[in-house]
Amino acid sequence: MEINKIKLVNYRNYDNLEIEFNNNLNIIIGDNAQGKTNLLEAIYVLAVTKSFLPINDKSLIKFNNKFSSIKGLLRGKNFEDNLAIILNENGKIVKINDKEIKKLSDYISKMNVVIFSSDSVRMIKESPSSRRRYLNIQISQINKKYLKLLSDYNIILRQRNEFLKIINTSKNSDMDYLKILNDKYVSLSVDIYNYRKKYIDDINSYIGDVFSGIVGIDNIKISYVSNVNVEKDNKNIKKSLISRLDKNLNKELLYKMTLIGPNRDDFYFTLEGKNLSLYGSQGQIRSAILSLKLSEVILFGNITSDNPILLLDDIFSELDINKRNNILKYLDNNKVQTIITTTDIKNIDENTRKNANVYVIENGKIISREIISSRKE
C-alpha cells in the first residue's frame, strides 16, 4: 500500500503542510529540529492513531492550538481511501472517507506502517512495558481481533486487581467469584500469549537468514519471555496458569495486584545466542532492529497481501554505504513505499536521489521539492 498525499493542520511544529509521496522512495531532508521526525510521526499516527513515542496525544497538537488534524490518501491493492484523524483536548476521532469509525480496530487494521527511529533502538534497553506496548501495536495492525482481546483482558485485569484489594478468603462466595475471574483471566491471557508467540515465531522465520546479506549480521533471533507459559513443552497452558495463580494467591493478596500473566511478558534479541541488550554493540543493536523492521515488512506483506509503508527516521548517517544501498535496492525490488529522513543529502547517492521525491524542510515548511513524476506500478 502507499500513502500518496498527506495534509497536516496544527500538528507539532506544522501549521499547514501538504506533501505528496511517490510509490517508491521519498527523502525528507532538514537540519535538526525542523520537523523530520514529526512528519514521519504524523504518518504513523494516521495509521495507528497514536504516536510511536509513549506520550499523551495532546503533545501532538501544535502549541497554543485547540485541535490538530492529519489527513491522507491511502492506496492499497483493491482500495483507495481518505483517512483522517482529528485530535482535540477531549480526545480523537478517526474517519475513513469522511465517515467516522467508532471501532478503533476497524481503523487501525486499514493502513499498515513499520517505523525505524531512534526510539526503536531505545526500546531494546528500556523497561519491558515499552516492548509489550510495541508488540501490542504491531500485532493490532495485522489482527483486528487482537485489540479487542487486549481491551477485554485489561478490563478483567482491573477487576481482578480491585478484587484482590478487598477479598476475604474465608468467605466462600468471594472464592467463587475469584474463580470466575480467574477462568476469564486465564482464557484471555492464553489468547494473548498465542498471538504474541505466533508473531515472534513468524518474525524469527525471516529475521535470521533473509537479512544477513543485507544488514550484515547473522544468527539473530528474538526470544519471547512469556509469563503466561513458563514451562517447556507445556501441553495444557490454561491448567498450569490456573495452578500458578492458585499457588501465588497469598503473594498477590500481599501486593494487592495480579503478578502473573501477559502483563509481565517480555522479549529480547539474541545474537549468536547472546542477549543483545547486555552484550551487543551500538551498531549490532541498530542492525538487529533494522532486521526486525525488514522482517515486519515481509510479515505484514504476507498477512495482508499488501506491503506496509516503511518509515526510516535518520538511519542512514550510521550505516555504511554498502548497507544503505543493499537496503534501498531490496526495498525497491520488493515495491515497498519508503519515506526516509536525513540531515545530510550526502548520505544519499546521486542515482538514488534521481528516483526519489526529495523535500527539504525548514521550521515546519517545505522550502524545496524535487518530485519525480514516473510512477512505477
Ligand X SMILES: Nc1ncnc2c1ncn2[C@@H]1O[C@H](COP(=O)(O)OP(=O)(O)OP(=O)(O)O)[C@@H](O)[C@H]1O
Residues interacting with Mg ion, by CB under 5 A?
36-37
Tell me the C-alpha distance between 217 and 199, whole Å. Answer: 21
Among 3, 19, 36, 193, binds ligand X (CB under 6 A): 36
Closer CB to ligand X, residue 116 or residue 195? Answer: 116
Of the candidates 23, 26, 38, 258, which one interacts with ligand X according to CB under 6 A?
38
> By C-beta, is 38 or 143 nearer to Mg ion?
38
If 0-12 CB within 10 Å is exposed, 13-18 middle and 19+ buried, where does residue 296 land? Answer: buried
Residue 63 touching ligand X (CB under 6 A):
yes
Which residues between 259 and 318 bind ligand X (CB under 6 A)? 314
Residue 30 binds which one of Mg ion, ligand X, none, with CB within 5 to 8 A depending on kind? ligand X
Nearest distance, CB of residue 297 and ligand X, angstroms: 22
Per-residue CA distances from 271 to 127, 130, 200, 294, 299 (Å): 20, 21, 15, 17, 21
Mark out the alpha helices in the chain (DSSP H runs).
Answer: 36-48, 104-108, 118-125, 128-142, 144-166, 172-207, 212-215, 237-247, 249-255, 276-279, 282-304, 321-333, 350-354
Measure the CA–CA gap between 279 and 305, rounded to whole angstroms. Answer: 37
- 29 touches ligand X by CB under 6 A: no
Q: Using the rule CB under 6 A, is 34 a contact of ligand X?
A: yes
Binding-residue total with ligand X (CB under 6 A): 16
Is residue 12 at the binding interface for ligand X, with CB under 6 A as the rule?
Answer: yes
For residues 104 and 82, what is the distance between their CA atoms, to the nearest angstrom?
16
Cβ proximity to ligand X, 228 vs 309, nearer residue: 309
- Check residue 62 for interaction with ligand X (CB under 6 A): yes
**Residues ≥6 apart with Cβ < 8 Å to 171:** none
Q: Which does 23 bind (CB under 5 to 8 A by kind): ligand X, Mg ion, none?
A: none
50 binds ligand X (CB under 6 A): no
Q: Kindly state the smallest distance separating residue 60's Cβ from ligand X, in Å.
A: 6
Between 63 and 180, CB nearer to ligand X: 63
Residue (10 or 357) nearer to ligand X, CB: 10
**How far from chain centre, in Å, is Cα 231?**
28
Query: Which residue carries 503466561 as its cell?
Result: 228
Does position 35 interact with ligand X (CB under 6 A)? The reply is yes
Q: Distance between the two ends of the chain, CA-based, in angstroms? A: 11
Give contact residues for ligand X (rule: CB under 6 A): 12-13, 30, 32-38, 59, 61-63, 314, 343
